Amino acid sequence: MSNHPSITIPLDQSAHLLAQKFSQRYVAQPAKAEQVYHNILCICAIYDHLSLNGFEANLEDSDSWDIAIQTLSDVADVLVVGLGKLECRPVLPGSPAVFVPAEVWWADRIGYVAVQLDHPLQAATQATILGFLEQDYFEASESEQVPLPDLKPPEELLKYLELLQQPQPVRSFIHLSRWLEKQVEAGWEAIETLIPSPAVRWDLAFRSQDNAPVPILRGQLLDHQLNLQGQSIALVIALTSSDNQRLDIQARLYPVGSAKYLPPHLKIMLLSETGEVVATKSGEPLMSESRQYPPDSFIQLRRFKYPLGKRFSIRVALGEASVTRDFMV
């Protein structure tokens, strides 16, 4: 079970009438009819919760109200006007996890809410919000079964939506896929200009096999925002075109000029589009930190692959100072 206090929402007769209306289309498919009944009750509960707390919600323009999509998919979304679609996933009493089908992971969802329903279902008088997942949860998870302890507290859902409502600063993205066409943003220099050592350049090239594509290598100096006391470092991006319209990406930090080693406690980390540190499948954050002894001649992020259109950021930090670069694949 989730360790967070839950939020209970009454279910009135109108919610059951809607659930019956939609589920009756699938009388020949009992499992599908039950799925739709569950989903509609969850949707109604979250719709009421949002409406009571000042959010404008729309059911008619959601995927779950589209009969064709409903028939072919397991969807249960509410359109939050001005923000996007919030997925509402049912949880059976006693279940240790919430099922979130992969088909809704990338379907313009702004989040995923876990809703537990009373049983027997047709007599349910209330729904309980157990918690929620933010938009980028499935960037680091490939399981459709999400353990309830992974959920964020339900009382933070409204704060999360309020944060999404706030105007976001205009971000300037570095378009990596354009590098393949030799369209490189100003400030990203050829690696020979920044790091003249042939040995380093060879090492940067992923230690490629003879038959592997030659990576594109570009670097940018990061001096002024990190209080480096005269030392220069370079953020170097190496990328190759991968399978299925994805790019294979690696990021490293190198000392530039006369310095042979990086300053200690320099950090590099991979961030999601929403600014969270991306974690591996095992839960380890994708980040690296330079040592004081023995000193490091470079540090790197583990290589990662992202599809075209994916947005992410790389942050470099030293103490309280940091600099972030935003990328689009």
pLDDT in tens, 44-83: 999 999 999 999 999 999 999 999 999 999 999 999 999 9
Write down the pLDDT at residue 237: 94
What would the two tokens of residue 258 be? 């006369």
Mean pLDDT of the chain: 87
- Measured in degrees and rounded to the nearest 5, phi and psi for residue 291 equal -90, 160
Q: Is 25 helix (H, G, I), strand (E, B) or coil?
A: helix
CA-derived radius of gyration, the chain: 24
Q: What is the DSSP string of 204-273?
A: HTTT--TTSPPPEEEEEE--TTTT-TT-EEEEEEEEEE-STTEEEEEEEEEEETT--SPPTTEEEEEE-T
pLDDT band at 112 (very low <50, low <70, confident <90, very high): very high
Q: Could you tell me if residue 206 is left (phi over 0), alpha (psi between -120 and 50 degrees) or otherwise beta?
A: left
Residue 257 has pLDDT above 90, yes or no: no
pLDDT band at 207 (very low <50, low <70, confident <90, very high): low
Among residues 303, 328, 298, 300, which one has the least CA distance to residue 313? 328
Write down the pLDDT at residue 198: 65
The single-letter code of the amino acid at 262 is L
Give the distance from CA 158 to its chain's centroid.
Answer: 19
Write down the pLDDT at residue 285: 83
Write down the pLDDT at residue 107: 63
Kind and range of the H or E run holding 47: helix 30-52
Q: What is the pLDDT of residues 211-224, one digit of tens each?
A: 667 788 999 998 76
What would the two tokens of residue 110 be? 């702004």
Residue 196 has pLDDT above 80, yes or no: no
pLDDT band at 321 (very low <50, low <70, confident <90, very high): confident
The answer, as to whether pTM is greater than 0.95, is: no
